[in-house]
Amino acid sequence: MSTFDDISQEEMAVFLQEADEQIQLLDEDLVNLEKEGANSELLQEIFRAAHTLKGSSAMVGLNDMSHVAHAAETVLDLLRNHALEIDTGVIDALLHSLDTLKILRQNLLSDSPENIDVQPVLDELEAVANRDKTSSSQKTGGKDVIDHSLIAEAWHQLETGLILYSIKAEIVPESPFPAVRFFQALDELSRFGKVLNSIPDRQAIENGSEERFLQACFAGTSTEDEIQEILANIPDLTNIDVRRVENEKAEDISSPTPSKQEENNSGTQERRSGQKVQTSQTVRVDVKLLDKLINNVGEMVIERNKIRQSIRMLEAKYENDETISSLRDTSANIIKLVSELQESILQARMLPIGTVFNGFPRLIRDLAQKVNKKVELIIDGQETELDRTILEQIRDPLVHLLRNAVDHGIETPEKRIAAGKEEKGVVLLSAYQEQSYITIIVEDDGGGIDIARVKRASIAKGVISEEEAERLSEEEALNLIFRSGISTADQITEVSGRGVGMDVVRTNIESVGGSVSIESRLGEGTRFTIRLPLTLATINGLLVSSSGTTYVIPMSSLVEVLKIAHDDIQHISGHEIIRVRDQLLPVYKLESTFGQNMDKAGDIDEMLVVIIRSGVRTAGIIVDSVMETQETVVKSLGKYVGTIRGIAGATILGDGRVALILDTATLVTGITAN
């Protein structure tokens, strides 16, 4: 990490954490600003973020970052003072400045930082700030916005006991006498207090100023509502805004300073939802410390399972022994405390999925502009929490799905209108918790997936033959889009069309123990459903054995356990199949997967089959015995063992034995693909 001579590593770390908060806020709010227009509360929130970033970066000597933030702050100040209209060009410039801030921030973490040229974005922001200078000057009597020094001057004139107000108002366009109306406004205000200064000033108004935008500093004892009522009685006066000025800080003139109660622990304002934010005492903890804690707790869970196993053995050996009974009670308390500690540490690793979701409105906006479509992104369930490790893995798959929704799913405005739809397409991104799993849905109301085109593309790529394509069900045909190289795009674009991405989606999701399924109706839209475990640190699993080896099957993949006769296994095209409630399922002997001895398999009349599912695929694995369900700590096989297809990791059981955790997604894919 780059540091400066007078800035310590710790101080730089604090700056980066605070900068991340402000950058994330800007990322969320700038896109909302384009949709909501001149929302004063939203503008103030964005302005404060830019202002804070400007000050903190200047404090640690990051001049480029400070200059960019300052230039963005200038544009935002024009917006909140009605001297600049919000449009695509303004938002583009602000977003480009945000992109530059992100690059500058990332550059700090590089061992060999690059020289970033910030001049182009500074020029763009300056051009935006100055493009309406003529009209802005007309609005404010020769000044772009009300000068902050006017408020400072007003404070010096303020007498004890009076309240200072910042007042803004406009004259309706059709009014023939703007100067007369402003004169009336100042005259009425003077009856209830003092007009300390204004733009335009009283002299300009008396000289017949054509100004149609008034800003004034007023001191009096009236309330905001009373002042509002006074001005509302003046004809042709509109957009009246009366705000009490709480302090002398120039940057806080246009809106009241938030009180201590209105700030959260990280120093940022409460959100604009209108709901009270419950503040809580929080501290920042290094992720490495959390990882170490979870590893230590994992070891404690293993020992907990050993204690539980030992107590069972002792109780069986020394029945009704008082010492053993006392030891059992003590161990029960220890087991309970370890479980509670484990739950607390796991909770500390959880993050709201909104930390990933909040960057997607910008993504959708930019993609929609590139492909000339109108798209609205609706997000729900941002508060749903997920293990941070899984969050890091799920970002790319979601990006791929959203890009495909915009490029492949949503039609052009012309096509949508022709199909009887609204010209603006809708993409829904939602998340919710189901027991110990998280479900994420990416859905669009676009044209849906043409299964016939998917089959043709798959045949052309040699993924399947024409005969196989004929036999595929609709569900199976839809899942062909997850095969590498399959694309139905008419042409290659910046967004998609090369047949990459969807296979990555499935691979990344399954790598964290999740699954993805797809539903689609031609002309109506497409829905992707992702199921993910809450955490990768532990799993609930079913213990089974095969040829003397114990395996753990994740409960998330378990469908049911069946007992079948050896004769129930049928052979079709060289594959073993069983029939389960009128459904044919492929089965595989677990020991054969890992090259174990299978000599005794043919001598067994009855066999146990564990039915497992991954996504839409279902298969059966034949095992020797089924034991119990148990919470297990996931351990890596290590670099010496390496990667074994079908094995996700290992765990230590209560009796000290090692059990292998099955990668059911890989197993099911391999079984059903054979």
Q: Are residues 362 and 418 in the same domain?
A: yes
For residue 455, give the nearest of 431, 435, 474, 429 by alpha carbon: 474
**Would 255 be classed as within a structural domain?**
no
What confidence score (pLDDT) does residue 7 get?
A: 65
What confidence score (pLDDT) does residue 148 get?
A: 53
**Would 328 be classed as within a structural domain?**
yes
CA atoms of 630 and 621, how far apart (whole Å): 19
Boundary-marking domain end, from 248, 275, 306: 248
The secondary structure of residue 464, as a DSSP letter, is S
**Would 263 be classed as within a structural domain?**
no
**Would 94 be classed as within a structural domain?**
yes
**Would 169 be classed as within a structural domain?**
yes
CA atoms of 231 and 192, how far apart (whole Å): 12
Contact of 212 with 139, CB cutoff 8 Å: yes
What CATH number did the domain enclosing 453 receive?
A: 3.30.565.10
What confidence score (pLDDT) does residue 244 get?
A: 84
Torsion, Cα 584 585 591 593, to 10 degrees, reads 120
DSSP 586-641: EEEEHHHHTT---GGGGG-SEEEEEEEEETTEEEEEEESEEEEEEEEE-B---TTT
The three-point CA angle 96-99-100 to 5° equals: 90
CA atoms of 520 and 403, how far apart (whole Å): 17
Contact of 154 with 198, CB cutoff 8 Å: no
List of the chain residues with pLDDT < 70: 1-7, 132-160, 246-284, 484-501, 592-604, 615-616, 638-643, 670-674
Q: Are residues 313 and 409 in the same domain?
A: no
**Would 501 be classed as within a structural domain?**
yes
Q: Are residues 299 and 207 in the same domain?
A: no
Contact of 582 with 660, CB cutoff 8 Å: no
Q: Are residues 526 and 545 in the same domain?
A: no
Tokens 């074994």 — which residue? 644
Q: Are residues 553 and 657 in the same domain?
A: yes
**Would 553 be classed as within a structural domain?**
yes
Q: Are residues 358 and 340 in the same domain?
A: no
Q: Are residues 644 and 613 in the same domain?
A: yes
Q: Are residues 58 and 126 in the same domain?
A: yes
Q: Which helix (H) or strand (E) holds 147?
A: none
Active site residues: 51, 73, 404
Range of the domain at 79: 9-131
Q: Are residues 118 and 23 in the same domain?
A: yes
Q: Are residues 489 and 361 in the same domain?
A: yes
Q: In the chain, how many domains are there? A: 5
- The predicted-structure confidence for 628-652, as pLDDT tens digits, reads as follows 888 787 777 765 566 677 787 888 8
Q: Are residues 383 and 512 in the same domain?
A: yes
CA atoms of 386 and 441, how far apart (whole Å): 15
What CATH number did the domain enclosing 165 receive?
A: 3.30.70.1110
The three-point CA angle 186-143-164 to 5° equals: 40
Boundary-marking domain end, from 248, 273, 307: 248
Boundary-marking domain end, from 315, 330, 348: 348
What confidence score (pLDDT) does residue 380 get?
A: 93
Contact of 657 with 550, CB cutoff 8 Å: yes
For residue 406, give the nearest of 481, 484, 494 by alpha carbon: 494
The three-point CA angle 189-181-37 to 5° equals: 90
**Would 120 be classed as within a structural domain?**
yes
The three-point CA angle 78-17-58 to 5° equals: 50
Q: Which helix (H) or strand (E) holds 34?
A: helix 9-36
The three-point CA angle 251-257-261 to 5° equals: 145
Categorise residue 138: left if φ over 0, alpha if ψ from -120 to 50, beta otherwise: alpha
Contact of 96 with 27, CB cutoff 8 Å: no
- The predicted-structure confidence for 460-472, as pLDDT tens digits, reads as follows 888 888 888 888 8
Contact of 306 with 654, CB cutoff 8 Å: yes
What confidence score (pLDDT) does residue 444 get?
A: 95
What CATH number did the domain enclosing 668 receive?
A: 2.40.50.180
Q: Are residues 326 and 375 in the same domain?
A: no
